[in-house]
Amino acid sequence: MSSPETSEKIPLHVDPTERAWMRAAIAILVVFAISVTIAGFMLGIQLPTTEQRVNPQTLQDAPPWSEPGVREIVAGEQYDVYVVAKRFFYEPNVVEVPAGAEVNFYVTSTDVQHGFKIQDTNVNFMVIPGQVSTLTFTFDEPGSYDYICTEYCGLGHAVMFGSVTVTP
């Protein structure tokens, strides 16, 4: 014989401190969602995408990777830049593009994982052998912008860099 008390619902007790932390966690998630939306749609922050797959062993046997560098698509307006990362340098290590032009960077590696970060810009991505990482960027101000390796790739990691010269 069961007593009626046992089937009664017991109100869930949540400690006030725990309740406060649950509210804080939800608030933080809302702030993150708003930040990601602003970053993606208003600040133009893009996720680096895998443009294509390549064979790192035969990479430099055929264009465009046999002759990495700048390709003018539309004079003064659009450029493609092909960069090969390898221990411990970039090919080419000097790139020249005009200010205000849309520059598409295509970067891949022939050996290990490297990074590609252009200082004073939000261009920053991993370079993985076998795939081409790409990002589009417009330099508004003329000047010199160094690109550096941001993934530890070996003893020469710290000296792995190149430079984008942006002409007026």
Applying CB under 6 A, does 146 fall inside the site for ligand CUA?
no
Applying CB under 6 A, does 32 fall inside the site for ligand CUA?
no
Applying CB under 6 A, does 95 fall inside the site for ligand CUA?
no
Nearest to 116 by CA among 98, 89, 97: 89
Minimum distance between the CB of residue 103 and ligand CUA, rounded to whole angstroms?
Answer: 21
Applying CB under 6 A, does 149 fall inside the site for ligand CUA?
yes
Nearest to 106 by CA among 78, 133, 69: 133
| 110 vs 107: CA distance, rounded Å | 10
Task: Look up residue 40 and give its two tokens.
Answer: 């993606």
Amino acid, res. 136: T
Q: Is 31 helix (H, G, I), strand (E, B) or coil?
A: helix
Minimum distance between the CB of residue 107 and ligand CUA, rounded to whole angstroms?
Answer: 11
Q: Taking CB under 6 A as the criterion, which residues in 49-68 touch ligand CUA?
A: none
Minimum distance between the CB of residue 99 and ligand CUA, rounded to whole angstroms?
Answer: 28
| 162 vs 143: CA distance, rounded Å | 14
Residue with tokens 């804080």: 24
Minimum distance between the CB of residue 152 and ligand CUA, rounded to whole angstroms?
Answer: 6
Applying CB under 6 A, does 153 fall inside the site for ligand CUA?
yes
Q: Which residues bind ligand CUA (CB under 6 A)?
A: 88, 114, 149, 151-153, 157, 160
